[in-house]
């Protein structure tokens, strides 16, 4: 049992670490460096998986899936012929394919472990629903709502909220199902969201969305990978939806962190605008994260989540709380950076204003030197009799012109001495 739980946690851990469109078709990892330890671990893992499945389905489960998978069967057969069992176990690499299925963007998706994947643009016969445990409907219409209401006995209020396509994020628990309304990211970079509705029953799950979303393909491949270690139930689909959102949040936080690291020390207006933009992005991420925590906590209080999904959902709550804490730190960091940029801009503007005042003071002093000349020109230019107006010599003009600046310099000299004496007197008193 412990080996199976470890395997499940290992698959979920790998799924969490895969980012942004599933760059790799498969994720390979080795369980040990020692050949004997690898053979022993592989045997224990298969025995634990067999005991776990037999305890749940003692009659139905007759064939146990092999947990160790290889990509190339011919290469695997060659190794089996040339090596003994111990060496063979040392060379086998556990491989979980997270891109087994590629969706064709059909309207309806049906999936189960036994029947596999089925896509269609037309709704299948209602009695065939029993073969599957998950149905996904893209942009449901009135006919789809009628089938959902009749087949699954879904309440009219739930149908009305799904039709609204803009209901808030919440969870409503009814007698036979739980309705969960979520907002997910269609595009992680543009933050375009999608209304994603989940209806969880004891042994069935229905999901609807109004926009095409790559996450549906990722969830399907996760279900395929996790089916190698446990029996599928609706809780796994819901948990993978939550993990998809966690991946998008982590991707967005990494992008924001990269931009903050690229901030220069010039503190220009452009960087102030960028700071405001990323501060707003942090606020948006917090708005998307907060309802998910409330939904998970309320969902865990119901009887719908099964073991070991219940334990993993509690770990998701812890991840959300960690993200919430990181978003709070990022918000405070952006606010401090914003205050610093604004403060530095104020200092720069104050310094520029001071320099302008110094220049204007110099200009005013220069113009003050010409005031006596303007006074002489004004007095002698009046249409009245003034002294020396009959003189043909210019000596009186030069005398008056020179006396004006001398008197101005004398005035400035006395004024500056008076200021210095006041300052020195104040310093002596201190």
* Domain contains 64: yes
Contact 256, 281 (CB under 8 A): yes
pTM of this structure = 0.64
| pLDDT value, residue 126 | 54
* Domain contains 170: no
Of the residues 43, 66, 96, the one at which a domain ends = 96
In tens digits, what is the pLDDT along the chain, a chain of 430 residues?
566 777 777 777 776 666 444 433 333 333 334 344 444 444 544 454 444 334 433 333 333 233 333 334 444 444 444 444 333 333 323 456 666 777 777 888 888 888 888 888 877 655 666 778 899 999 888 888 888 888 888 888 999 998 888 788 999 999 899 999 998 877 666 667 888 999 999 889 999 998 888 888 888 888 888 887 788 888 899 999 998 888 888 888 888 777 766 665 556 677 777 888 888 888 888 888 999 999 999 999 998 888 788 888 998 899 899 988 888 888 888 888 888 888 888 888 899 899 998 888 878 777 776 676 677 667 666 666 667 767 777 777 777 777 777 777 787 788 878 877 877 776 666 5
Strand-by-strand arrangement of the 116-120 sheet = 116-120, 108-112, 134-138, 205-209, 192-200, 178-187, 170-173
* Domain contains 287: no
Torsion of CA 208, 300, 22, 228, to 10 degrees: -100
Q: Which residues, in sequence order, are CB contacts of 232 under 8 Å at separation 6+? A: 112, 113, 133, 223, 226
What count of residues does the chain have? 430
Q: Report the alpha-carbon distance of residue 427 to residue 430 in Å, rounded.
A: 5
**Integer angstrom CA distances of residue 268 from 82, 154, 344:** 68, 56, 10
* Domain contains 430: yes
Residue 264: φ, ψ to 5°: -90, 180
* Domain contains 408: yes
Domain span holding position 76: 1-96
* Domain contains 199: no
Please identify which residue in the block is written with the tokens 């670490």: 17
Report helix, strand or coil for 394.
coil
Contact 292, 245 (CB under 8 A): yes
Q: Which of 12, 36, 75 is nearest to 228 (CA)?
A: 12
Structural domain count of the chain: 2
Of the residues 96, 125, 142, the one at which a domain ends = 96
* Domain contains 364: no
| pLDDT value, residue 188 | 60
| pLDDT value, residue 200 | 94
Q: Which residues pair with 119 in a beta bridge?
A: 109
Q: Report the alpha-carbon distance of residue 7 to residue 15 in Å, rounded.
A: 12
Of the residues 52, 70, 96, the one at which a domain ends = 96
* Domain contains 242: no
| pLDDT value, residue 420 | 79
| pLDDT value, residue 129 | 66
| pLDDT value, residue 50 | 47
| pLDDT value, residue 36 | 45
Contact 240, 222 (CB under 8 A): yes
């Amino acid at each position: 049992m412990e080996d199976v739980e470890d395997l499940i946690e290992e698959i979920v851990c790998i799924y969490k670490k895969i980012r942004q469109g599933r760059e790799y078709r498969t994720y390979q990892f080795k369980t040990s460096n020692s050949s004997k330890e690898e053979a022993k671990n592989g045997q224990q893992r298969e025995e634990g998986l067999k005991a776990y499945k037999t305890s749940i389905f003692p009659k139905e489960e007759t064939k146990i899936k092999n947990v160790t998978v290889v990509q190339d069967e011919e290469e695997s057969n060659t190794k089996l012929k040339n090596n003994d069992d111990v060496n063979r176990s040392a060379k086998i690499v556990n491989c979980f394919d997270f891109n087994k299925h590629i969706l064709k963007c059909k309207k309806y998706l049906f999936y189960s472990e036994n029947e596999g994947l089925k896509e269609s643009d037309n709704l299948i016969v209602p009695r065939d629903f029993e073969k599957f445990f998950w149905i996904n409907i893209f942009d449901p219409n009135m006919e789809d709502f009628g089938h959902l209401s009749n087949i699954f006995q879904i309440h009219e209020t739930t149908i009305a909220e799904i039709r609204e396509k803009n209901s808030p994020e919440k969870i409503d628990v009814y007698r036979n199902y739980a309705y969960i309304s979520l907002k997910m990211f269609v595009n992680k970079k543009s933050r375009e969201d999608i209304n994603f509705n989940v209806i969880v029953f004891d042994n069935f799950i229905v999901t609807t969305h109004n926009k095409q979303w790559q996450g549906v393909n990722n969830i399907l491949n996760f279900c395929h990978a996790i089916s190698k270690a446990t029996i599928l139930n609706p809780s796994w689909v819901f948990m993978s939806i939550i993990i998809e959102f966690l991946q998008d949040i982590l991707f967005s936080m990494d992008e924001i962190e990269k931009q903050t690291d690229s901030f220069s020390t010039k503190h220009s207006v452009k960087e102030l605008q960028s700071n405001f933009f990323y501060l707003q992005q942090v606020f948006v991420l917090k708005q998307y994260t907060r309802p998910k925590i409330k939904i998970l906590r309320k969902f865990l209080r119901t009887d719908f989540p099964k073991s070991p999904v219940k334990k993993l959902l509690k770990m998701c709550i812890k991840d959300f709380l960690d993200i919430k804490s990181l978003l709070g730190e990022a918000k405070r960091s952006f606010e401090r950076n914003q205050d610093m940029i604004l403060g530095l801009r104020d200092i720069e503007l104050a310094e520029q204003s001071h320099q302008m005042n110094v220049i204007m003071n110099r200009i005013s002093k220069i113009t003050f030197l010409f005031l006596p000349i303007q006074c002489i020109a004004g007095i002698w230019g009046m249409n009245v009799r003034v002294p020396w107006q009959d003189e043909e010599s210019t000596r009186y003009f030069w005398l008056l012109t020179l006396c004006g600046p001398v008197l101005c310099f004398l005035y400035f000299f006395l004024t500056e001495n008076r200021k210095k004496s006041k300052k020195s007197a104040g310093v002596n008193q201190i």
